[in-house]
Structure 1
Amino acid sequence: MSIDEAATIPARVLAFAAHPDDIDFGASATIAGWTAAGASVSYCILTDGDAGGFSDEDRPGLAELRRTEQRTAAARVGVTDVTFLGEPDGYLQPSDAVIREIVRRMREVRPDIVLSMHPERSWDMIQKSHPDHMASGEAVTRAVYPAVENPYAYPELEAAGIASFKVPWLWFYGSPAHLENRFVDVTGAEELKIAAIMAHESQHPDVERMQARVRAILQDNARRGGLGEGRSAEVFHVVGINTDETIAGF
């Protein structure tokens, strides 16, 4: 199966992020298109997001507020299955315990596509490369291969009936520009993306600038992807994990 074939509508998608709002900035318009076409999409947020925000008044209860905001944002693009691992914001590591829980979610959902932040630093836009973002990407990548498909990795999961599973495709968002290989035309879904981002009210001190910047990035993505002026695109680094072109063990 080629990358072009991977662009067909998946049956199930499992999207991981370091913080509430990461998915919405990175991939929510693509996700809106998938859910509208009948795909089942689940989110797994790795940290509490309790170090985000700009107001001292929001500090008490911020983690729960951000969970509520993420559930609202997810619902706006057709996603109702949202789980949280509750790791501390700013201190995420690709630890054995974190990878085990990621493997658990992958085996439970059994997605056609795992959507993840990128594990590599992006020098073209350093904001993509918050340490939690890269740690999230590294943990998901370690889980995708080989842990999730190895019944002898985390055998307690296998013993509990959470069986090993081979992930076909891994789609990274927030990728370094030179690794981008999939431009998804999301023209017409811009307002859904903005609505999802706007659900994170605690995170936006300058709403007008944020919205303008998001729209500009979508249009620039489309130009770079050859989609033409006036189009919008989200962009990914797509990696085949278990496809017709891969061989087990290589």
Structure 2
Amino acid sequence: MESLQTPARVLAFAAHPDDIDFGAAGTLAGWARSGAEITYCIMTAGDAGGFDPSDRSGVTELRSAEQREAARRVGVRDIVFLGERDGYLEVNHAVIARVVEQIRRVRPDVVLSMHPERNWDRLQASHPDHLACGEIVTRAVYPAAENPFAYPELAEQGLQAYKVPWLWFYGAPRERENTAVDVSSTVDVKLAAIRVHASQHPDLEGMDASVRRFLQDNARRHGLPEGASAETFHAVGVNTPETIAGF
């Protein structure tokens, strides 16, 4: 993974505003500091989030603003909102085509996504929208994005087929983790980004402490030095020198 410490272009997908910040903001902040160009794509409007029952009409606008500010703190300027209904995200060709469009537009070295497999150790990590996000992105990465005959309307718009080198999943079941990124130097950036999503977290101090413990546990499990913090991923080589393509 040494060559992937600073990819040139990264495209990070999430089901809801705040998912990326919990799952990968430390890694992304480090890459941004080193010059990576990073794009976020948020699939749903986040309209089922929050705790205030009195005014639901402004939830989407609020959560989109929170995500933009959180991204700014991480070092990300380019954000795309697909606007699907929160809680109703489905694996279908309409959404897959929109994801392929983003992949062909950005042409990233690394695609980040939520994991498509359910995590039975922590079911809260496996919201149905999270699982759908992972499956949608996986289908978009392979074979759709690299198949010149898939979604021909995209090619007609000048968005030609593109082979994604790496697909990194965050929120993976522990048995799938194969990559740990030391985020000790960007923990404060990650937590600052998470805290921006105040509409979703009634106990910010408790959330802060829980995230710190979780990151330190990741580091211990993956053999990093005592006191370090880590984000973990299931990294999949899609089109690398080691992968066999064409089947």
Q: Could you state the TM-score of these two structures normalised by the residue count of structure 1?
A: 0.97
- How much does 1:188 deviate? 2.0
Q: How many residues align?
A: 247
Are residue 168 (structure 1) and residue 160 (structure 2) matched?
no
CA contact (8 A) 2:12 2:40 kept: yes
Aligned identity (percent) is 65
Name the residue aligned to 2:145. Answer: 148
Once the two structures are TM-superposed, the CA of residue 127 in structure 1 deviates from its matched residue by: 1.1
For the 8 Å contact 1:149–1:165, the answer to whether it is kept is yes
Provide the secondary structure at the position in 2 that maps to 1:228. coil
Question: Structure 2 vs 1, CA of residues 163 and 135 (structure 1 numbering), >3 Å: closer, same or farther?
Answer: same
Corresponding residue SS for 2:94: helix
CA contact (8 A) 1:47 1:87 kept: yes
Is 1:216 the counterpart of 2:213? The answer is yes
Question: What code does the residue aligned with 2:46 have?
Answer: G
2:94 equivalent among 97, 106, 114: 97
Match of residue 187 from structure 1:
184
Matched, 1:74 2:64: no
3-state SS, counterpart of residue 74 of structure 1: helix
Q: Distance in 2 between matches of 1:123 and 1:86?
A: 28
State the Cα deviation string for residues 126-164 of structure 1 (Å, max 9, x = none).
111000000000000000000000010000100111111
CA contact (8 A) 1:119 1:138 kept: yes
Q: What does residue 129 of structure 1 align with? A: 126
Structure 2 gap ranges (5+): none
2:15 equivalent to 1:18: yes
Preserved contact between residue 6 and residue 169 of structure 1 (Cα < 8 Å): no
Look up the match of 1:117. Answer: 114
Decide which of 87, 104, 115 is 1:107's aligned counterpart.
104
SS of 1:239's equivalent in the other structure is strand
Residues 143 and 6 of structure 1, relative CA distance in 2, 3 Å threshold = farther
2:58 is aligned with 1:61: yes
**Counterpart-to-counterpart distance in 2, 1:58 and 1:68:** 16
RMSD: 0.9
- Who is 1:236 aligned against? 233
Counterparts of 1:41 and 1:151 in 2: how far apart (Å)? 25
Aligned counterpart in structure 2 of residue 8 of structure 1, from 5, 9, 13: 5
Matches of 2:124 and 2:77, distance apart in 1: 28
Secondary structure of the residue aligned to 1:56 is coil
Q: Structure 1 residue 84 and structure 2 residue 81: aligned?
A: yes
Distance in 1 of aligned mates of 2:129 and 2:64: 17
Residues 58/230 of structure 1: CA separation in 2 closer, same or farther (3 Å cut): farther
Q: Does 1:197 align with 2:194?
A: yes
Partner Cα separation in structure 2 for residue 100 and residue 241 of structure 1: 19
Contact map agreement 1:49 1:66 (CA 8 A) in 2: yes
Q: Determine the C-alpha separation between the residues in 1 that align with 2:75 and 2:207.
A: 23
Mapped contact 2:5–2:31 kept (Cα < 8 A): no
Q: What is the rounded CA distance, in whole Å, between the counterparts of 1:126 and 1:73 in structure 2?
A: 25
SS for the counterpart of 1:188 is helix
Rounded Cα–Cα distance in structure 2 between residues aligned with 1:249 and 1:176: 29
